[in-house]
Structure 1
Amino acid sequence: MSVSLDSIRAAAHLISGAVMRTPCLPAPKLSRLTGADVWVKYENLQVTNAFKERGALVKLSALSPEERRHGVIAMSAGNHAQAVAYHAGRLGIPATIVMPEPTPFVKVAATRGYGARVVLAGEMLADAQAEAERIAEADGLVWVHPYDDAAIICGQGTIALEMLEDHPGLDCLVVPVGGGGLISGMATAAKALKPDIEVIGVEAALYPSMKGALNGEAVQCGGATLAEGIAVKNVGKLTLEIVRETVDDILLVDETDIEQAVNAYLTQQKTMAEGAGAAGLAALLSHRERFAGRSVGLVMCGGNIDPRLLSSIMVRGLAHEGRLVSIRITTPDRPGVLGDISTLIGSLGGNILEVSHHRLFLNVPAKGTTLDVTMETHDRTHAEEILTALEGLDVSVRMLDLGESRL
């Protein structure tokens, strides 16, 4: 299979009815936040909560009867694994998925739940890939690559067909980039349908592999990123060729921007985005001038995020906005002080969530004490008003980081 508008249209016909045609909706709140006219394609609504189902189904549907009988193998720690497992199960194709040993149990369990045989091997994706290649050779299994495969690319390109059919006025698509399968398919379709549309890729700054490959530069890739779904050190040969011909630019986003974007999807759009899924919005937040006033289509490509991580991001977001504040108050150790402080905070509209009382800190006088108070406020200005009022009680007050308040 070649990658062209015709083959992507054929892929769209093939997956119709088996993969959700996800909505692409206006996002007025995100538009106000970024200054662009934002439209979001909600691929987190797929059964496996990510776009990977499209390419996986196209690839599996192209197998011969003999290949189906022998089965397939894939290597992934996340969305690709679940997509291959789910659709292989639907089609009655035996599937083996090799995952690194540290893969979170919830992802292993989900993949097994779709009927796949899961093999845990090695610490890194490279180790898992080596084991997958060994098993594929030994057992005669068809390799289902996560991105560097024409069938996979064509399946992912159906997203652009749907977006431009629903909203032909879009003048820019902003697409997360890992190995390049998603943006290769989308850019091929979009440029064929609307040659003047701009297609912008987004990579995590810790993993600028595609940008480095396009520029012929050796880049450093590594580190803990919220966008693990696009944390790829080596891009595909086919995808690099397509991206070089069809993609207008690659932008990098740092971890702060990705975190802010995940939080914005949750609080503004009431939807869950994993770090990779929020990368496009992160680019709009960090490169506002680039997209101001333009009609921009974002691919929210996945929503598989750990609930504990999401909870932490929400709390950090409240702290960043000044709506969740921790303060340390140093005061004489006498009866009634805590009551005075809590009464003042309450009278000014603050809501106390937690109080820690310390008498043993060596930097506090023997007859003194410290209070760590965590409270809800309306915003940062409101928090400053409360701090100023507390200082009027003749106590020492300073702002804390949320982590520091629990020391």
Structure 2
Amino acid sequence: MAVTNRYTAPLGALMSRAGDEMAGTAILLFAYGASSAGDGAAVFGLLTVAAAVGGPLLGVWLDRARSSGPLALSLASFTVGLAAVGFALHQRHEGLAMVVAVLAGLFAPAVAGGWSASLTDLDAVRARRLAVFDASSHSIAGLAGPVLAGVAYAIAGSSAPLVLTLLLLGVGSACAPFARVLRPEDPGGASRPLADLRRGVAVIARRPRLRAATASSCVASFGFGLFAVLVPAIGQERFGSPAAGSILLAVLAAAALASNALLERRAALRRPGRVLTWATVLVGLGIAIAAGGHPVAAILAAVVIGAGDGPQLAGLIRIRHQEAPARLCAQVFTTGASLKITASGVGALAAAPLAHAGPTVALLVAAAAHLVAARVASNAGDHPDGDPDAAPPSPPPVAGVLTVPTPAANLCIDPD
């Protein structure tokens, strides 16, 4: 079972995230094929809003669970909800599709936060590798998801992307029972869910490293949401086609994967606070380079942004694992995911008024947001030994007694 957990859970996270990255495009293409493109956009927006609201509540449920069953059920509910949205749009029941989209969106944070909370290990080296994989899975999904949706649409029509999305999410849901989660002796029996919700918010607000990392991620997500909306305009202005923006995003994702591979090889994630700070600076620098008017500058910007984007997420994930109390781990991750979704949405909304002054102004604002985020991230710092969740030294052996190193207290896993 241990060997199965070692590979099945990461595979499930990757499949779920690829499906999630495809979901928005798949719904828009499906609605477009059904001649209801406006309804598809509304459904997509409702999914995003519901995901932003549902994170903290979903986290409370996952933290109070004795097994990985709630994670599997959450992922399955999201999958079934998307299937129901597609069916409702196909039957021209637009109102029903929107209601179901809200319900399905409440479970969406399980894809990011729920999986991240379970991707860790008692062994500090493997825990760092899982944090790098966790961040890389987002980059892989971001690179492959839209491409798969486009290829499926070109080959088999408007329904194919949604079918493929549901298949990937279904595989992720099937892998979820193998995820490692904390099984507390008293899973919430001594407290009410509302009290747990307050504790989850409080721990983010009161733990300095966690507060700084979370605040930094929100400010950076605002800047990146602003940048992402401008990518088609950059493609049009620099290369003469908005479709070139997709190529820039692919270059960005590839650079993020390469930088995460380098991060793991050099074991730099022993100091995740430093990684988070300088990676955020690098993303801001890349966005500032994108403000240059030459096509080469746009390509260079994509490489620089990607080089920072991968380690930025890996550092954030590692800090959350280090700082989140085991009892509140899932809530910390799902609440963090909701906050990032909200901040990114605000950034996207800010793009419209800023774009009137030209994309250069908007890009410089996005770059400035990342520099502010880096300054905030610097407050997260690192523990003096650089590896707070390594097991402490074993006591001297005593004749006839087997001593076992004590695991770190804050790891969000079941030590069994």
Normalised-by-shorter TM-score class: under 0.3
Structure holding more helix per residue = 2
TM-score scaled by length of structure 2: 0.23
TM-score scaled by length of structure 1: 0.23
Structure holding more strand per residue = 1
